[in-house]
């Protein structure tokens, strides 16, 4: 990365060769700043755990109006870069050359917003950031180890997240749900329940925004939102069961073939429609992530979807437009939406049998 000035939002920074900055992640930074703004709490205490150049912290201050920000980075070059960028942008941000672990285990401070965006897995840091979270705090957690969460490295996912991942068309959504399961189980150790406000899967990352609610009852309620999913590789149907001791079907209810089970994973809501509506109202055009955020807002907030190309292949029939199938499902009085997780898929308030009937009707 050259030392040329980089302008993004209301921030202007410089990044040297030894300091990580990814211009392709602007959409995620835009969405995170918009999210912080929608929280509507300028007096919130915000911690940027992996600040690097400091661009997110600077934008939280200048665009979301957050007044009390602490930015960490254990890398000395990043710390020096951040210090210069924060001074040049004339914002008041406390900066520390410390690791997340060192800071979380030595500070008496507590935070209302915690941004965790590490390289790779966030799993080693989740436990520590929960130590310094206030009741009703919001965690913004990014995972870039998507190959692990999406099942390309099953053993690594079991080791890192304690879950068996799905390695098929459902992998992006199941990866987000495995990440939320991991956060909810760690949060329960501190008597926190979680409430997902926004969940995103894009490019090489997954990012979840969750609110913490203190109390043993809240923690238990969240634990019961986790469970297991089953998938049929023959007809592409799925089922899922929440709870501490979920019931799993070994045979597919539609085609009677054997199914595989996956999880544990979060099977509750992935978002708050009300909160995302607030984000959309604040959005100023042009905004790079507007289309994605609108898709998320309009999507049925239920587990999993049906890939129309995979269904047509299993039926050995001609390809059909997902939108045509969606229209056919709506005519059958079923709720049907597109999904952020797969541009060729449909989420429905029905079964694989309903989708198959709609595909056949649309292929005529």
Say whether both 290 and 310 belong to one domain: no
Say whether both 67 and 158 belong to one domain: yes
**What is the residue-averaged pLDDT of the chain?**
93
Q: How far lies 149's CA from each of 33, 52, 76, 184, in Å?
A: 25, 25, 30, 16
Say whether both 79 and 211 belong to one domain: yes
Confidence of residue 232 (pLDDT cuts 50, 70, 90): very high
Q: Is residue 76 part of a domain?
A: yes
Say whether both 159 and 275 belong to one domain: yes
Q: Is residue 330 part of a domain?
A: yes
317 near 351, Cβ under 8 Å? Answer: no
Instruction: Tell me which DSSP letter residue 165 carries.
Output: P
Neighbours of 101 (CB within 10 A): 15
268 near 176, Cβ under 8 Å? Answer: no
Q: What would the pLDDT profile of 93-104 be if each residue is shown by its tens digit?
A: 999 999 999 999
Phi and psi at 334, nearest 5°, equal -105, 145
Q: Is residue 318 part of a domain?
A: yes
Q: Is the pLDDT of residue 341 over 60?
A: yes
Say whether both 331 and 201 belong to one domain: no
Number of helical H runs and strand E runs in the chain:
14, 15
What is the residue whose two structure tokens read 């059958």?
A: 332
Say whether both 153 and 291 belong to one domain: yes
d(CA 352, CA 146) in angstroms, rounded, equals 27
Average pLDDT over residues 105-125: 96
| Cis peptide preceding 264, ω within 30 of 0 | yes
Say whether both 191 and 148 belong to one domain: yes
Tell me if residue 328 falls in helix, strand or coil: helix
Q: Is residue 293 part of a domain?
A: yes
Count structural domains, the chain: 2
CATH number of the domain enclosing 321: 3.30.56.70
Q: What would the pLDDT profile of 281-316 be if each residue is shown by its tens digit?
A: 998 766 677 889 999 999 999 999 999 999 999 999
Residue 246: predicted pLDDT: 66
Q: Is residue 322 part of a domain?
A: yes
Say whether both 73 and 151 belong to one domain: yes
Say whether both 70 and 167 belong to one domain: yes
Name the pairing type of β-strands 342-348 and 94-96.
unpaired
Q: What would the pLDDT profile of 118-140 be if each residue is shown by its tens digit?
A: 989 999 999 999 999 999 999 99
d(CA 121, CA 141) in angstroms, rounded, equals 10
Q: Is residue 252 part of a domain?
A: no
- Boundaries of domain holding 331: 306-362
Say whether both 109 and 153 belong to one domain: yes
State pTM to two decimals: 0.94
d(CA 317, CA 164) in angstroms, rounded, equals 32
Q: What would the pLDDT profile of 65-75 be if each residue is shown by its tens digit?
A: 999 999 999 99
Average pLDDT over residues 210-239: 96
34 near 283, Cβ under 8 Å? Answer: yes
d(CA 246, CA 224) in angstroms, rounded, equals 10
Residue 287: predicted pLDDT: 67
Q: Is residue 18 part of a domain?
A: yes
Say whether both 59 and 148 belong to one domain: yes
132 near 104, Cβ under 8 Å? Answer: yes
CATH number of the domain enclosing 149: 3.40.50.150
d(CA 90, CA 103) in angstroms, rounded, equals 25
Q: What would the pLDDT profile of 155-167 be if each residue is shown by its tens digit?
A: 999 999 999 999 9
Say whether both 279 and 318 belong to one domain: no
d(CA 166, CA 310) in angstroms, rounded, equals 15
Q: Is residue 240 part of a domain?
A: no
């Amino acid at each position: 990365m050259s030392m040329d000035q980089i302008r993004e939002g209301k921030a202007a920074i410089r990044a040297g060769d030894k300091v990580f900055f990814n211009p392709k992640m602007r959409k995620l930074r835009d969405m995170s700043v918009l999210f912080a703004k929608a929280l509507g709490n300028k007096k919130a205490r915000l911690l940027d755990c992996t600040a690097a150049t400091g661009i997110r912290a600077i934008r939280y201050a200048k665009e979301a109006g957050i007044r009390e920000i602490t930015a960490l980075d254990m890398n000395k070059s990043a710390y020096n870069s951040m210090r210069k960028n924060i001074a040049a942008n004339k914002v008041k941000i406390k900066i520390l050359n410390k690791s997340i672990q060192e800071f979380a285990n030595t500070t008496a401070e507590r935070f209302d917003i915690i941004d965790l965006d590490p390289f790779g897995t966030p799993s080693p840091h989740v436990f520590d950031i929960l130590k310094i979270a206030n009741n009703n705090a919001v965690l913004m957690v990014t995972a870039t180890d998507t190959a692990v969460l999406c099942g390309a490295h099953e053993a690594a996912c079991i080791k890192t997240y304690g879950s068996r991942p799905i390695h098929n068309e459902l992998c992006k959504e199941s990866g987000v749900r495995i990440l939320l399961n991991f956060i909810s189980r760690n949060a329960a150790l501190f008597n926190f329940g979680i409430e997902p406000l926004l969940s995103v899967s894009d490019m090489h990352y997954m990012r979840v925004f969750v609110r913490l609610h203190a109390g043993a009852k809240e923690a238990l309620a969240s634990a019961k939102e986790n469970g297991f999913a089953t998938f049929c590789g023959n007809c592409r149907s799925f089922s899922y069961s929440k709870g501490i001791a979920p019931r799993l079907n070994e045979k597919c209810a539609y085609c009677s073939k054997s199914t595989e089970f996956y999880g544990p994973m979060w099977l509750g809501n992935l978002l708050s429609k009300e909160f995302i509506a607030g984000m959309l109202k604040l959005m100023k055009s042009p905004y790079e992530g507007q289309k994605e955020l609108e898709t998320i807002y309009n999507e049925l907030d239920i587990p999993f979807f049906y890939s129309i190309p995979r269904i047509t292949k299993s039926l050995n029939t001609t390809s059909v437009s997902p939108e045509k199938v969606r229209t056919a499902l709506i005519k059958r009085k079923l709720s049907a939406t597109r999904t952020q997780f797969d541009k060729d898929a449909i989420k429905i308030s029905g079964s694989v049998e309903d989708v198959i009937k709609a595909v056949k009707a649309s292929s005529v």
